[in-house]
Structure 1
Amino acid sequence: MRRLLCWLVAAILILQCAAVAARPYSLDDLLRHEDTGRMLVDPGGRWLLFEKYESHLAMQRQDRLSLGQILRARPYIVDLHGRGPARPLLDDDQPGTILLGFSPSGKRIAVARLQGGAFRFGIMLLASGAVQWWPYAPVHDGFHPVHSWLTDDRLLILSQRDDRPAAQFALDWPPERPMRERWDRTAAGALAVSISGSGRYLRDDGRSQQQLLMVDAVTGAAQALATGPFAQMQPSPDGKYVALLKADRARQPSADQMVREDDSFHSRHLLLLDVASGAQWEPCSDCSLPGDPRWSDDGAHIGFVADRNGRRETVMANMARHVVMSAGPVRSASLDGCRLSPHQDVPVAARASVTPTDENISFSVPMACTRPPAMPGTIWGAVSWHVGTGGVIVERPTGGVIRVPWQRPEAIVSVQSSDIGKGGAVALRISAASGRSALFLADQGKPRFLMAFNSFMRDVEPAIMRPLVHPSADGSPVTSWLVLPPGAKGAKGLPMVVIPYPGQIYSDVAPADQQVGRERFYTNAQLLAASGFAVLLPSIPMPPVLPDTGFDFSAALAPAIEAAIATGSCDPARLALWGHSYGAYGVAMAAVQSRRFRAVVASAGIYDLAATAGTFGRAMRLSPEEGLNVAASYAWAENGQGRMGVAPWKAPGRYIANSPIYQADRVNVPMLIIGADRDFSPVEQGEQLFSALFRQGKDAQLITYWGEGHVIGSPANLRDFYARVIGFLADNLAVKARAVPVVAAAAPAIPASSARQ
């Protein structure tokens, strides 16, 4: 009991807000931000494991931002039979280890570690804490399982066969080694060449291979059960079979049909393997799977959506009899059977595109499939809560309440829960408006404190977020958001920065990714507000295809801007734009259409829609044998955000009218153009726009960051990035921005602009 009281007191002290002066959110808060990752409970209910995402500053390499959920991950363990706090699972000084899954009894846990250039598989014996690392590189994408335990001593692993990085790592892997090797071969007089083909020259050889391995968890000895270009594995619930998706046949898009961004260069074929006998079976050899298969709960059947001979259909295979049945899609959802998706089992935000017609068609097969297909782990859900005497009162989904100690009525923005095992035990994650949060374990007794996150942010005063309900340019009612500096609730005449992302429609709930408790490295409204700017996040409905005369982005922005000005908080004479990625394209178009803005910042953008379509990108250029996803870049322009509807040669006028580079003579506002050499949005696009302005003697700056991708992430580069953006905006909007406390670096000297003069 005394130990319990000690831990509760510690939790209260950590969560308590001392009487300290509030301060604005800063870039250091962003870089130091901590979070939680996956959470697993062993089958016996004894051990709870979870990943803590350490500060970005703790990453081994700062040029791999997209791998942050691996490089920042540090696993912790909690004894559910004890009362102590969480403790590190491994005795190492660096993060970079993720949790994969428990063995059937919970005796062992599979993990994976990214260290240096190697991604390796490991197994820990929980009783002793001993871990063994094996020379197997799991094919990990964060969404699908890479292993399957057969017994406590045997498991299956989908592993890379050679030293080449897996596809999910290749996009963020530094290119120096393969480039240097090829340059050195040329320097020595040897051959260094890459070959791509189309039509009868189409190639599908030379792709990296993966292996399905059966591994002895004690000795590490492995037996290869299957080898091929496997993209993922799905074990059956009973462990008898494994479904392997092969990406092994090159294909090209139809010249007469619109392509989608998630159309792959390789067809995806299903290979089924009997674990005991090693027998292999392709239930539909002439089918390509646009989505992922689903197993029946008993493992006797597998169902999937298939594309065959130009027709999309559902297929169900009987594993014992090797019998296949198929049927077409239906227009309404069926309550019976197993629902199938024509998309891969990844979150919608991670998918490249969703064709609207896909959502109106349902696919199902007559089998039960309640088991989730994705990787095991925590599923957080919002719960009802209120602040009561002495803490936070959380309503259990199954009835009753949980009282969590939380001293001082600090503003709380969310409470989430996750069912973690038998007996009604749940994990609770409570997040405060300041950005700090805490993790609790609640069973039938009093809540147990596990860990605090971002305690250094306890004195942060976030920006004020105010909804603006207004009609859009097409007349439909929408909600935009006005973000004001901390403590500036009644401020008047603030300079305003508009951050548009065409097609983004906000709800009546404040945008989660613009809160101080989130990790937004680009167009961060909290950092701008902390620097003294008002920030507008406009909802901008977009048509499915842009007009041949060019879409009027400035007119689409106008309703939200007028609604913000009507509050009295913003100065209509001091407006600026900042867009990132597709948002950069949008602000560049607005810059050629309107003179009401005094500064425009465009980062990681595309400014010539036709010139972007078909470009390879760094990873594809270095390894074309891994797949020429040319269709994806064309689809971005045709069917994706570019909204052109057709290929460039079918409507060249439409592409020109909707590309700011061809209207650069109409830009009459200072522009700050930012790019990076590893960005998949070609850095040449920013150079082209800058050169067009340079050719005319217009006010512009081009900033290029080296070793960065689509989002600037290395600390020194990020500080310079925000210092330059804030300094540029302050210079052109004639304000004294508070850049030093927000960015922790003085803004670089910027010549006075002609607009300010």
Structure 2
Amino acid sequence: MKNITHAFVCGALLSVGAATAAEVFTVDHMLRNEDFGHAVFGPTGRHVYFEHFPAYEDMQDFSRVFVRGQQRSRILVADLEGDAVPRSAFPQVPGDGYRIGTLSPGGSRLQYFRVGSSHFVTGIHDFVKGGSVALKAIPEASVLYVGPVWISDSTLGFATTREGSLPLGVYLHAESRDELYAEWQKARRGRMATSSEIGSGEYLLTESRKVQGKLVLADAQTGATTTMADGNFESWELSPDRRRFAAVRTRPLAPDPTLPLEHAALGGVHRDLLVIETGEGSAPVLPCPDCDIAMGTAKWSPDGQSLVFFARLLGEAWSTGRLWRFDAHSDGAEPVKLGGLKLVTRAGPLQLLLAPQTAWFGDSLAVFASDPEGEARPEWFIVSPAGEARKLSGEFGDSPIHLIAVLGNRLIALADGDVWSIGSDGRRTLLTVDIDFPLKTWQAHDGFGPPPPFAAGYDPQLVLQGDNGEIVFLDAADGTVRSVVAPSERATPIAASFTAGRVLYRDVAGNVGVLSACARGGECRELMRINRHLEGVAAGTPVRIDHEGADGRQLYSWILMPPGYREGASLPTIVDVYPGGVYRNKWHRFDPWDMHALNWHLLAARGYAVLFPSLPEAYHEVPRDPLKGLADRILEVVDLAIEAGYSDGDRLAIQGQSYGGYATLGAIAQTDRFKAAVALAGPANLISMYGVFDVRLREAAELNGPRLFGASWSETSQGGMGAPPWDDPERYLRNSPLFTAPDIETPVMIMQGDRDYVSMTEGEQMFTALLRENKDALFVRYWGEGHVYNSPANIRDMWSRIFDWYGRYLGADSEER
């Protein structure tokens, strides 16, 4: 751990004079921030459509979950072969927010979402004829669901909500609260019963939990829908020939008491796979009636005649899950023979999803797996229908390869930053011989949350990104390579047109946001500027601390230094913790132009250094003791910051949100080196966390069933318990901060919203324990708020309290900087 390099600085450290002349970043600045969201080019690349979010605090309704701007966004369009001035893409109702869905295959129609305080509408705008039409049914929409899928320029397919309800992602906050209030009013009047029932075992499928939604086809000209299948659907994958959907339908889960609840399988529901013809009159096919499918794993072959998916059999654990192959000719499914390979089933930066990597290679499959008889390191293998496996990466040595496309009998892969074509005989050809910088995969993303895992497709037209921000267009069919240079090192590509060779970049100039469309040859056209109020506002400077983990792995931690930091000054430091958070070698935390209630630049602006330690954690390895040695792991990185001269070891504080709030409460029971702590939205008692319902879904539990989020989280994810509380109560007790309250000497402020899916009762229990032990503690509750706060008034109040808290225990003198 003592191997440290701390010379890497993102930008020069400002002089004291420069900082004192600049404006200091405040909460008011942040709440005025604008943003750009999702963007998409038209088919020819001449027009680009993008979302613009006006000033955050100008919204009229802050009751939605994780509000970013859904009720204030506008869809604009710029003609890049005209004046490039952004204009409204079509008439939009003032006061509502508009979000881009998808363009039809020919680009003549745009599917969009319109959100208001009490409504959610999906519309189709026709650019050729003009005018918009609203779909007669409401598509389901949340982080677990895909959106409407175009089958042709005139037809879409999607899942609907139950009649009269809003999509889950819209319902979660305001509507569930309003529904509860309506029930209270019924009880007050005394004329209507307010009971609701939820069943288990023999009573699992109560009357209210029968089929609610549908999978439908919608006419883009009229908005009318026709039903393809009844059921509550979560995803629907269209075959390349556009003849079939592979749709995932949910139903209540009857848990097996002998098997762990797999959090990576996304909740307490059972998922059936249905194959449904997009034409009318065909009955849905259930290829594997005894299968429970992992969502997002269905993948069609290029001809649309075969489908691979990952599933377990009923009565078996997810650890026994396997790949299955559906044949459209027989309508049946059989297990895929892997020749003894062990499939890698986890994906994502935190290994939170069951998402094995597969790709079709003619009749064979490419799979990411390990060979128990060979090297332990996972590799890509080609597996024939008979189960004969051949390692794909033999010629690449120890370099990991990433499959990015399949073209007939060729695989296109990334290795060591280069793109290779690999034939069926294993021979490889370098496709990027003229590119002198390393490449990585790229996909359009609106910047809100992590992008989805990259999945190899069948399109030879590939868009890749260099580590310098440059976008490379590679036609893997003929080897043609074009590139577009980024307007600056800080520019982020948010949309690309392979046809036109254009890239839409979100850039920053002195904290002011700049949206530019760039083409080959370095030509960039500026479309729009936002956040001019941040011009002249001094930002903190992130400094990277390089070190080794306990296993010798290279890690990167970051410390955000205040504006005008004077090199050599040791500052009061706030350590922001999140076990499992491992930071990249480039700064990817918040910046002043980001609108987020937890923008830690606000602390740096007050003169604090903010340390973000990388704390690797294997969530899926259970059982484990997540609190064991936690403070020591955190303090190893803290001591590096002290040794480097950045931090004052006598003025340290610790904070965290969500799992970081849990870690904060756990760590301060193990050390008294921190003078103050702030724990936001963190669990305190893993036993109660296991069984308490999500408050946002409590009224809807009898419709979809309890999601068992807390139970699966506790058993097989961040909780790490590996079993329910009654099977291993001692492990639950020793890993629950509640039961270490007597050991806490650090003053702590607990903050929680009453609409948080981490129940506010967690904070109540922790505070009660601290109160009973007569410890120094404050419990701040925010009514109407969820996991992250939305209301500008509450965000201001939260920061005022945090500033006062740290000011009391740490102080922060601008002269120290």
**8 Å Cα contact 1:156/1:214 also seen in 2:** yes
User: CA offsets per residue over residues 546-599 of structure 1, 9 Å max, x none?
Assistant: 777961322122211111111223221111111111111111122222122111
SS class of match (1:584):
helix
1:181-196 matches, within 5 Å, as 181-187=182-188, 188-196=190-198
1:168 maps to what in 2?
A: 169
Amino acid at match of 2:466: V
**8 Å Cα contact 1:237/1:299 also seen in 2:** yes
Q: Quick one: distance in 1 between partners of 2:466 and 2:47?
A: 24
Determine whether 1:300 maps to 2:302.
Answer: no
SS class of match (2:326):
strand
User: CA offsets per residue over residues 462-485 of structure 1, 9 Å max, x none?
Assistant: 212122234556776533222211
- 1:36, distance to aligned residue in structure 2 (A): 2.9
Determine whether 1:97 maps to 2:101.
Answer: no
Determine whether 1:624 maps to 2:701.
Answer: yes
- 1:385, distance to aligned residue in structure 2 (A): 4.7
TM-score, normalised with respect to structure 1: 0.83
**Which of the residues 260, 273, 287 maps onto 1:283?**
287
The alpha-carbon distance between structure 1 residues 682 and 75, as it changes in their structure 2 partners (threshold 3 A), is same
2:778 maps to what in 1?
A: 701
- 1:142, distance to aligned residue in structure 2 (A): 5.6
Q: Quick one: distance in 1 between partners of 2:19 and 2:608?
A: 27
**Which of the residues 331, 346, 349 maps onto 1:322?**
331
The alpha-carbon distance between structure 1 residues 328 and 253, as it changes in their structure 2 partners (threshold 3 A), is farther
TM-score, normalised with respect to structure 2: 0.77
- 1:600, distance to aligned residue in structure 2 (A): 1.0
Determine whether 1:515 maps to 2:519.
Answer: no
1:461 maps to what in 2?
A: 538
1:583 maps to what in 2?
A: 660
Q: Quick one: distance in 2 between partners of 1:565 and 1:54?
A: 41
**8 Å Cα contact 1:139/1:166 also seen in 2:** yes
1:28 maps to what in 2?
A: 28
**8 Å Cα contact 2:625/2:731 also seen in 1:** yes
The alpha-carbon distance between structure 1 residues 19 and 573, as it changes in their structure 2 partners (threshold 3 A), is closer
Q: Quick one: distance in 2 between partners of 1:615 and 1:194?
A: 17
SS class of match (1:224):
strand
**8 Å Cα contact 1:579/1:603 also seen in 2:** yes
1:159 maps to what in 2?
A: 160
**Which of the residues 549, 571, 575 maps onto 1:494?**
571
**8 Å Cα contact 1:499/1:536 also seen in 2:** yes
User: CA offsets per residue over residues 636-673 of structure 1, 9 Å max, x none?
Assistant: 22222122233222332222222221121222221111
Determine whether 1:525 maps to 2:608.
Answer: no
The alpha-carbon distance between structure 1 residues 630 and 457, as it changes in their structure 2 partners (threshold 3 A), is same
User: CA offsets per residue over residues 611-633 of structure 1, 9 Å max, x none?
Assistant: 21111121332122233446431
- 1:680, distance to aligned residue in structure 2 (A): 0.9
Q: Quick one: distance in 1 between partners of 2:192 and 2:383?
A: 56
2:270 maps to what in 1?
A: 267
**8 Å Cα contact 2:56/2:595 also seen in 1:** no
- 1:420, distance to aligned residue in structure 2 (A): 0.9
2:723 maps to what in 1?
A: 646
2:255 maps to what in 1?
A: 252
- 1:727, distance to aligned residue in structure 2 (A): 0.9
2:15 maps to what in 1?
A: none
Amino acid at match of 2:590: Q
Q: Quick one: distance in 2 between partners of 1:594 and 1:294?
A: 50
- 1:333, distance to aligned residue in structure 2 (A): 9.1
Which stretch of structure 1 is more off in the superposition, 269-278 or 144-153? Answer: 144-153
Q: Quick one: distance in 2 between partners of 1:507 and 1:375?
A: 18
1:429 maps to what in 2?
A: 506
- 1:686, distance to aligned residue in structure 2 (A): 1.0
Q: Quick one: distance in 2 between partners of 1:474 and 1:482?
A: 23
The alpha-carbon distance between structure 1 residues 596 and 117, as it changes in their structure 2 partners (threshold 3 A), is same
The alpha-carbon distance between structure 1 residues 197 and 209, as it changes in their structure 2 partners (threshold 3 A), is closer
1:41 maps to what in 2?
A: 41
The alpha-carbon distance between structure 1 residues 432 and 204, as it changes in their structure 2 partners (threshold 3 A), is farther
Determine whether 1:215 maps to 2:218.
Answer: yes
2:118 maps to what in 1?
A: 117
SS class of match (1:618):
coil
SS class of match (2:490):
strand
Q: Quick one: distance in 2 between partners of 1:476 and 1:639?
A: 24
- 1:19, distance to aligned residue in structure 2 (A): 13
The alpha-carbon distance between structure 1 residues 175 and 324, as it changes in their structure 2 partners (threshold 3 A), is closer
Q: Quick one: distance in 1 between partners of 2:280 and 2:127?
A: 31
1:137 maps to what in 2?
A: 138
**Which of the residues 519, 526, 534 maps onto 2:609?**
534
Amino acid at match of 1:27: V
Question: Which structure: greater helix fraction?
Answer: 1
**8 Å Cα contact 2:694/2:757 also seen in 1:** yes
Q: Quick one: distance in 2 between partners of 1:449 and 1:619?
A: 42
**Which of the residues 202, 205, 213 maps onto 2:204?**
202
1:84 maps to what in 2?
A: 84
Q: Quick one: distance in 2 between partners of 1:358 and 1:257?
A: 25
The alpha-carbon distance between structure 1 residues 416 and 720, as it changes in their structure 2 partners (threshold 3 A), is same
Amino acid at match of 1:636: W
Q: Quick one: distance in 1 between partners of 2:239 and 2:250?
A: 20
Determine whether 1:242 maps to 2:259.
Answer: no
Q: Quick one: distance in 1 between partners of 2:45 and 2:170?
A: 34
1:752 maps to what in 2?
A: none
- 1:366, distance to aligned residue in structure 2 (A): 6.9
Amino acid at match of 1:286: D
1:407-446 matches, within 5 Å, as 412-416=489-493, 418-432=495-509, 434=511, 436-442=513-519, 446=523
**8 Å Cα contact 2:485/2:522 also seen in 1:** no
Q: Quick one: distance in 1 between partners of 2:351 and 2:115?
A: 22
Amino acid at match of 1:554: A
- 1:687, distance to aligned residue in structure 2 (A): 1.3
- 1:40, distance to aligned residue in structure 2 (A): 2.4
Amino acid at match of 2:640: A
SS class of match (1:592):
coil
CA RMSD of aligned residues (A): 3.7
User: CA offsets per residue over residues 61-97 of structure 1, 9 Å max, x none?
Assistant: 2122425363343211123442322212133333521
User: CA offsets per residue over residues 200-227 of structure 1, 9 Å max, x none?
Assistant: 3322652462223333333333333322
Amino acid at match of 1:588: L
SS class of match (1:662):
helix
Q: Quick one: distance in 1 between partners of 2:552 and 2:308?
A: 44
The alpha-carbon distance between structure 1 residues 227 and 365, as it changes in their structure 2 partners (threshold 3 A), is farther
Q: Quick one: distance in 2 between partners of 1:143 and 1:643?
A: 23
User: CA offsets per residue over residues 399-457 of structure 1, 9 Å max, x none?
Assistant: 676577x7xxxx84344374314142333333457363332242568322222233332
Give the % identical residues.
Answer: 27
1:748 maps to what in 2?
A: none
